[in-house]
Structures are given as C-alpha cells and as structure tokens.
Amino acid sequence: MSSLAELNSLEADGLASLAGCADEAALRVWSTQHFGDKGLMKAALGAIGKIAKEERAAYGQEANRVKVALETAYAAKFAEAKEAALQASLNSNPLDVTLPGRTRPRGRLHPATQILRQIYGIFADMGFQVYRTREVETDEMNFEHLNMPAHHPARDMWDTFFTTTPGVILRTHTSPGQIHVMREQHPNPIRVILPGMCYRNEAISTRSEIQFHQVEGLAIGEGITMADLKGTITSFARRMFGPERQVRIRSSYFPFTEPSIEVDIDWPKDDPNRDRLTKGTGWLEIMGAGMVHPNVLKAGGYDPDKVTGFAFGMGPQRMLMLKHAIDDIRLFWQNDLRFLRQF
C-alpha cells in the first residue's frame, strides 16, 4: 500500500462493501476488516514511513481523509441498520401506546358467599363462633351418633351419596359437625355455627339441589331451654328478613332433637309467584331445629343430666330465595352471569 491510487481504491472498495452489509453482524465484520489491528486502514497508515519523502505529506493527508470518510460512512450505515432492526421489531410486535388502558372488570362475591357472611355477622353479634368440619363423613357421624342406628327408618329422610369405601359418605347435613365440636369442647359450654356444603341424592327441582349449603347452630350449657332457641331464631330472622316479615314455628320430628321444630318465613305477599313457590301455603321452611337429644349429648361426651342444648340447621339458599323472590334454587350453581351479576 504505497500509492494514492491504492488509497483511492481502498476507499472505493470499502464504501462498496459497506453498502452491501445487510445487518449489524455484517457491519461488525466489515469494521474489523477495515479498522481492526490487522485491518486495511492500519496497514495503509502504517505505510506512511515507507513513502518517498516528497510524496509523504500528500499520501498522509489522503490516507487520513480516506480513514475519516470510511469511519463516517460506517457510523451512518450502523445507525441505519440499528433503526431498521428497531422498526422490524416494532412491526412484528406492534404496541400502540396511544390506546386507552384496558379497564379491569370488577368481581363480586357469589350470592351464597354474601348470605353466609351475613349469617356469620348476625350470629357473631349473639356470641356464636364459626366452626368448620368435613364434607366427607362417616356413616357413624352422619347418622349413628345422631341417634340413628343402622336401619333406623329416619335415615330415609336423607337420600345419601355413598362412596366406594364402606361407611364413608358425603354428609347429608351439617349435623355431624355437632358431634365433632362437642367431642372437642366437652365439658365446656358451646356456642357455635357450622357452615358448609351438604350433598343429597335427590331429584333436582326448583326447590331442591343435590348440593347446597347449610348452617348448623349448636348451643350447649347449663339451663338452656326451648325459650332460648325460639328467642335466638326469632331475633336472627328479624335481622335477616326485617321486622315486617313473619316467623312461624311448627312442631316437627328429627331423631337428634327432642322436642323438634321447623321454622318458616312468610313469602312476600305481593310476589306473583308466591303460591307456586310455597305450594299454596304462603310459607317457606328455612330450618329444622330442636333441643339436643340426650343420646346425642352423650355421644358428644356430655352428661345430659347436667347440661342441655339446642341445635338448628338452616338453608342459606332457601333464605336467598325468600329475600329476593328467586323462583329456582338451581340458579345458584349454574354460574349464569346474567343471574349472578344482579347481586
């Protein structure tokens, strides 16, 4: 590399090959070829010392001009390649920052959760704690300890889902929870509610589902009477349904309470579906209840000569139907948003 002509062809070839570089990687290779330690430009500049004295100044000047020209061209080409790569990535993955943000739909609690929490609140004010027990139960807990030995005809009141394990069933009511909590707490007094899902192998209809919530209540202590049960239930109903709604208490039968009652609430008089939903009576049952049977107290570890107690089992879904004049209990588990969004 010793003549001006060679410098000129270095410039011309350099610019031509630079123009042919398609991307950043090719540009880096080009840069090493021209400006690297063993690169063409270094060699051309290094040759200055070997140039004849009278030509040296002109050669040196020209060499520097070519170096600056190539550097400038390279910088421009490199910036262009970077911009092209950015554009390509923006096009393949477009982001329009002028779009308004997406509003997040606000969730809400399922009506079943809402009413359960309302029930917890009312009973909490009366001193009842929430206690949870299992949904998969033994036959013993669901029936035997509740004063229903094997083959007791009252078992027919609860159409049962059996599992493939003998003696293991899905609980048909929350009442087995009474035994669990008594066995844990005896001989201390008890005031609890036991909410949870129950299962019955029933024909599904507008008033009956195969799964539903119940809220069991249990109070055990000295001197507890039927008056306490009636007072507790009535004040609960007043707060849940309002003072204008009527509460009716009827005598009934359950193997695990003696005496036993059932509690009804009057259906809103102005609702056109009143007759159909109450089978013409004007009332809907919301719970069974009674004084805990001595055999049940014994099964729970208490001495029926020392303590008495009351128990109740209520259906929150029934109460929701009453509160909002809902005509089909199946709506609760169908997950139809048009229904659920109303609550």
What is the Cα 326 distance to its own chain's centre? 25
Cα separation of the two ends of the chain: 88
Convert residues 25-64 into a mask of x (bound to ligand PHE by CB under 6 A) and - (unbound). Answer: ----------------------------------------
Instruction: Give the nearest distance from C-beta 330 to ligand PHE in angstroms.
Output: 19
Count of H helices and E strands in the chain? Answer: 12, 9
Whether residue 206 contacts residue 327, with contact meaning beta carbons closer than 8 Å, is answered with yes
CB nearer ligand PHE, residue 14 or residue 290: 290
Site string for ligand PHE, 305-324 (x = CB under 6 A): ------xxx-----------
Which one of residues 257, 278, 308, 317 is an interface residue with ligand PHE (CB under 6 A)?
257
Residues in the chain: 343
Place of tokens 């080009």: 30
Q: How many residues belong to the site for ligand PHE (CB under 6 A)?
A: 11
Q: Which tokens in the block code for residue 130?
A: 């929430």
Binding residue (CB under 6 A) for ligand PHE from 133, 142, 147, 175? 175
Tell me how far, at minimum, the Cβ of 290 lies from ligand PHE, in Å. Answer: 5
Query: Looking at beta carbons only, is 257 or 308 nearer to ligand PHE?
Result: 257
Q: Are 63 and 46 in contact (CB under 8 A)?
A: no
Nearer to ligand PHE, 11 or 262 (CB): 262
Q: Does 254 bind ligand PHE (CB under 6 A)?
A: yes
- For ligand PHE, give the closer residue by CB, 146 or 320: 146
3-state secondary structure of 248: strand
Which residue number, 147 or 175, has a Cβ lying nearer to ligand PHE? 175
Which conformational region is residue 110 in: left (phi greater than 0), alpha (psi within -120 to 50 degrees), or beta?
beta
Whichever of 155 and 173 has its CB closer to ligand PHE, that residue is 173
14 vs 177 by CB, closer to ligand PHE: 177
Q: Is 143 in the site for ligand PHE (CB under 6 A)?
A: no
Write out the binding residues for ligand PHE, residues 265-294 only, by CB under 6 A. Answer: 288-290
Q: For 311-337, give the DSSP string.
A: EEEE-HHHHHHHHHT---GGGGGS--H
CA distances to 7, 262, 303 from 266, rounded to whole Å, are 106, 13, 38
Least Å distance, CB 172 to ligand PHE, is 7
Determine which residue in the list 34, 67, 173, 213 makes contact with ligand PHE, applying CB under 6 A.
Answer: 173
Least distance from ligand PHE to the Cβ atom of residue 101, Å = 50
Closer residue to ligand PHE, CB minimum distance, 175 or 317: 175
Q: How far apart are CA 154 and CA 164, in angstroms?
A: 23
Provide, rounded to whole angstroms, the least separation between the CB of residue 230 and ligand PHE: 14
Cβ 164 to ligand PHE, closest distance in Å?
A: 24
* 127, 295, 304 from 222: Cα distances, Å: 16, 17, 10
Q: What is the smallest separation between the CB atom of 279 and ligand PHE, expressed in angstroms?
A: 18
Distance CA 106, CA 35 (A): 61
Buried b / exposed e over 191-225, threshold 16 CB at 10 Å, is: bbbbbbebbbeeeeeebebeebbbbbbbbbbeebe
* Footprint on this chain of ligand PHE (rule: CB under 6 A): 173, 175, 216, 254, 257, 288-290, 311-313
